A and B are shown apart, each in its own frame.
Chain A
Amino acid sequence: MKKSRVSLLLAITLVGGTVLAACGNGGGSGGQSADGVTTVEFWAAPNPPQQAFWQDMAKEYEAVNPDVKVNVSAIKESPSSEASIQAAIAGGNAPTVAENINRGFAAQLSNSKALVALDELPQFKEMVESRNMAETIAPWEFADGHQYVLPIYSNPMLIGWRTDFLKEIGYNEPPQTYSEVLEATAKLKAKYPDKYMWAKGADLADPTAWKRWFDFFLLYNAASDGNKFIEGQNLVADDKAGVEMLTFVDDLRKAGGILAQNATDPFETGAGVFTDIGPWTFDMWATKYPELKYGENFTLTLPPVPDHMDPANAKTYADAKGLVIFSGAPEASQQAAAEFLKWVYANEENDVKWFKQTNLPPARDDLNEVEGFKQILAEKPELALYAEAVSKGVPAMDNPKFNELQTLIGQEAFNKVIRGEIDPQTGWNNMKKAIEGEL
């Protein structure tokens, strides 16, 4: 904490960025050194397995393409990966390629003309065909008809259930509908007053935009059968499903089933019975909570749905990230990057390697068909559930104002319902009004 540190950071970023931008090469057709080597600056996700994968790919590619150098480094997360990319673009130091970009941030970047439209690159069509991802990439098209992100992986978020506690209150299978969850909550509270059905710590009461992907959109997508929330510049949310979902959250709160205060790993430590789980969690559990074993004391399902819906076909939120190429990078580097990506995705073994190393399901149409994937899924049955649910995942909105809009969802409706400060219908109406004002 230093006085006005953020103001100073902002001011220095503004000036520094502009000065550096003026000094930068501003795109153009550079990117090649005197010895004819083209450099691709590749910013990987700050996740060691992902970095390791791209470093291996770069090394292998350089071995067969000595005229290209692929520098892989992790995106700096201080103050956030988005802010690092933003500052780099402003400073004329943007990489050629960055991974770990969600649709919302890509919409912000494309709105500012910072991204290359991938569908206009000559390598794009071949890349999509050879990777067998035509269906997967289709919903990634942006409102202007272009593709700015090449999806790498798509994680349909699932609900993890502590089956050990469920069994103790008489359930062999997790509850699937709102009524069943509320009924189970009553039984849980009767036996364990200190335990909660949904324990996610303070995230549920925090208005930070990205947190809504893992609670609000998880439930909204299930309740609305995947109905879009925002389309272009219009709010097209399903009112009935939205209010129904918030009413469920409110009922769960009233039944004492929600823990919305700061807690350390509440699901893992047994304070809560269900929470959202992504496949990246399992590696962490293997070292930190080895006692948690799929099929023994936890299981995975799609999110709970209203009573009139079929739980087996519930939709969910897809935590999907992809690669972008920056328009500020020299043209030669952009082309070299596209060639590099085409080379990586021309070989399905590379995606198998990716899946094995990261646990993140590759964004492909043939995840349940390719032998290499089948083998991994057989070895890790918990990942098979994610692979099966890929088609049920709804990706994030592609509105450039997604941060403001998702913050409003929390501030006006979700966080207040969680805290019992507003009734679901009023919260939903207030949220709609605020979002429509912002749009």
Chain B
Amino acid sequence: MINKQNNKLGWLFASPYIIFGLVFFLGPLLWSLYLSFTNWDLIAPEFDFVGLDNFRKAMAAPGVQSAFWVTYKFMMLFVPLVTAMSLAVAVVIQGLPKFKSVYLIGFFLPYLSSGVVASLIVQGFLSYNSPVNEFLRGTFGINIDWLGSPFSALFIVGLILAWKFTGYYALILTSGLESIDKEVYEAAAIDGVSDRQRFWKITLPLLYPALYTTLILSFGVTFGIFTEVYQLTGGGPNFATNTWQMEIFNQAFTNLQAGYASAIAIMASIVTFISIFVIRKLLESWGKRNGWV
């Protein structure tokens, strides 16, 4: 009797999120899945069922193929960068005698900032006639097209994202560091453990749960990159920074192909799901192999 009542209460408390999820996630997902088999443009009163045509077209499209690979390129750049930066910030802040929260808030602020504004500032900073480039040309005689070459464009976007997310992940890692029992470090100090050993043998294993969280989050970020790319490069040069979200946007809101864009969105969801699943398994096996979990 009590169990049944508890169940009802549980459902009641969970219902707002369940309803929200059904209305704003599951419903649109199913509708999008249906549309991916049509040629609807969102406006026309009639549309046709086109079977798998949208998926076939997407598989062969350079924009979709580039989105697939660019995501992994961003991953290889962004994940190590943001992990190293957030870990460094967390370790430094944890070692501070006071005002830890103030510093953490300072690093967290970029996460709250507008991606559009940050991108526009970077754009101005890197423009041909910015003081930075005037200085480089005047002093060293070099002219760098920061957003016009594939690698540097990718790097700049990755750097902006790392700047934005470092504080957020540092917050998670700091709480992980705070939860490590100080006595473990004291015992290690008595045993004459070096700083390097202390980090690799004590800090990292005990930080693993927090690190696992930030790694999964950062891998996830790379599948959702849009604003910075939209503002800075438009997916160029030559698709070098074209992401899934950019491709979906272009097809849905520029070319008005809602059916085709839905097919790309479904493909992006499947790729994201499989990739995150594999990454999660690899991270878990890394933890298990080292005896951290």
Tell me the smallest distance from the CB of B122 to a CB of chain A, in Å: 10
Main secondary structure of the interface of B (DSSP, over half): helix
Q: Are A261 and B128 in contact (CB under 8 A)?
A: yes
Q: Are B124 and A89 in contact (CB under 8 A)?
A: no
**9-residue interface stretch from A7-15, A331-339, A345-353:** A7-15
Q: Are B248 and A10 in contact (CB under 8 A)?
A: yes
Q: Are B45 and A1 in contact (CB under 8 A)?
A: no
Q: Is A325 an interface residue (CB 8 A)?
A: no
Q: Are A5 and B245 in contact (CB under 8 A)?
A: yes
* Complex Cα gap A263–B126 (Å): 8
Q: Are B32 and A11 in contact (CB under 8 A)?
A: yes
* Complex Cα gap A425–B81 (Å): 43
Q: Mark A65-90, 1 if CB is under 8 A from B, else 0.
A: 00000000000000110110011011
Q: Is B129 an interface residue (CB 8 A)?
A: yes
For chains A and B in complex, what number of residue pairs have CB atoms within 8 angstroms?
159
Q: Are A1 and B228 in contact (CB under 8 A)?
A: yes
* Complex Cα gap A209–B251 (Å): 12
Q: CB-CB < 8 A to A419: which residues of B?
A: 148, 237-238
Q: Is B90 an interface residue (CB 8 A)?
A: no
- Among candidates B28, B44, B45, B123, residue contacting A8 with C-beta atoms closer than 8 Å: B28
Q: Mark B140-160, 1 if CB is under 8 A from A, else 0.
A: 000001111000000000000
Q: With A6-B226, A271-B128 as known contacts, state yes or no: A415 contacts B238, CB within 8 Å.
A: yes
* Complex Cα gap A15–B26 (Å): 11
Q: With A6-B248, A86-B256 as known contacts, state yes or no: A14 contacts B28, CB within 8 Å.
A: yes
Q: With A14-B32, A86-B43, A403-B255 as known contacts, state yes or no: A263 contacts B129, CB within 8 Å.
A: yes
Q: Is A97 an interface residue (CB 8 A)?
A: no
Q: With A86-B42, A264-B124 as known contacts, state yes or no: A7 contacts B248, CB within 8 Å.
A: yes
- Among candidates A12, A209, A260, residue contacting B24 with C-beta atoms closer than 8 Å: A12
Tell me the smallest distance from the CB of A319 to a CB of chain B, in Å: 18
In the complex, chain B residues 248-293 whose Cβ is within 8 Å of any chain A Cβ? 248-249, 252-256, 258, 261-262, 265, 268-269, 272
Q: With A82-B253, A109-B43 as known contacts, state yes or no: A1 contacts B129, CB within 8 Å.
A: no
Q: CB-CB < 8 A to A3: which residues of B?
A: 220-221, 223-224
Q: Is B51 an interface residue (CB 8 A)?
A: no
Q: With A1-B224, A15-B31, A403-B255 as known contacts, state yes or no: A89 contacts B43, CB within 8 Å.
A: yes
Interface size on B, residues (CB 8 A): 58
Q: CB-CB < 8 A to B126: which residues of A?
A: 262
Q: Is A391 an interface residue (CB 8 A)?
A: no
**9-residue interface stretch from A159-167, A200-208, A227-235, A302-310:** A200-208
* Complex Cα gap A199–B148 (Å): 14
Interface size on A, residues (CB 8 A): 56
- Among candidates B129, B146, B148, B255, residue contacting A266 with C-beta atoms closer than 8 Å: B129
Q: Are A112 and B129 in contact (CB under 8 A)?
A: no
Q: Is B8 an interface residue (CB 8 A)?
A: no
Q: CB-CB < 8 A to A13: which residues of B?
A: 42, 252
Tell me the smallest distance from the CB of A400 to a CB of chain B, in Å: 9
Q: Are B43 and A90 in contact (CB under 8 A)?
A: yes
Q: Are B269 and A7 in contact (CB under 8 A)?
A: yes
Q: With A1-B224, A266-B129 as known contacts, state yes or no: A113 contacts B31, CB within 8 Å.
A: no
Q: Are A206 and B226 in contact (CB under 8 A)?
A: no
Tell me the smallest distance from the CB of B244 to a CB of chain A, in Å: 8
Q: Is A269 an interface residue (CB 8 A)?
A: yes
Q: Are B236 and A11 in contact (CB under 8 A)?
A: no
Q: CB-CB < 8 A to A10: which residues of B?
A: 32, 248-249, 252-253, 258, 261-262, 265
In the complex, chain B residues 205-263 whose Cβ is within 8 Å of any chain A Cβ? 220-221, 223-228, 234-238, 244-246, 248-249, 252-256, 258, 261-262
Q: Is A259 an interface residue (CB 8 A)?
A: yes
Nearest CB in chain A to that of B221: its residue: A3
Q: CB-CB < 8 A to B245: which residues of A?
A: 4-7
Q: Are B127 and A264 in contact (CB under 8 A)?
A: yes
Q: CB-CB < 8 A to B226: which residues of A?
A: 1, 5-6
Q: CB-CB < 8 A to B221: which residues of A?
A: 1, 3
Tell me the smallest distance from the CB of A216 to a CB of chain B, in Å: 16
Q: Are A264 and B130 in contact (CB under 8 A)?
A: yes
Q: Are B31 and A1 in contact (CB under 8 A)?
A: no
Q: Is B93 an interface residue (CB 8 A)?
A: no
Q: Are A1 and B115 in contact (CB under 8 A)?
A: yes
Q: Is A132 an interface residue (CB 8 A)?
A: no
- Among candidates A5, A266, A401, residue contacting B224 with C-beta atoms closer than 8 Å: A5
Tell me the smallest distance from the CB of B36 to a CB of chain A, in Å: 10
In the complex, chain A residues 364-410 whose Cβ is within 8 Å of any chain B Cβ? 401, 403-404
Q: Is A32 an interface residue (CB 8 A)?
A: no
Q: With A7-B269, A12-B28, A112-B41 as known contacts, state yes or no: A1 contacts B225, CB within 8 Å.
A: yes
Q: Are A266 and B128 in contact (CB under 8 A)?
A: yes
Tell me the smallest distance from the CB of B239 to a CB of chain A, in Å: 8
A-B contact pairs, 5 of them (CB 8 A): A13-B42, A14-B28, A207-B234, A209-B254, A403-B254
Closest CB pairs A-B (n = 4): A11-B28, A3-B224, A263-B128, A112-B44
A3-B223, A201-B127 provided; 16 other pairs, C-beta below 8 A?
A3-B221, A10-B253, A10-B262, A14-B28, A17-B42, A80-B253, A82-B253, A83-B253, A83-B254, A86-B43, A207-B236, A261-B127, A261-B145, A262-B127, A266-B129, A419-B238
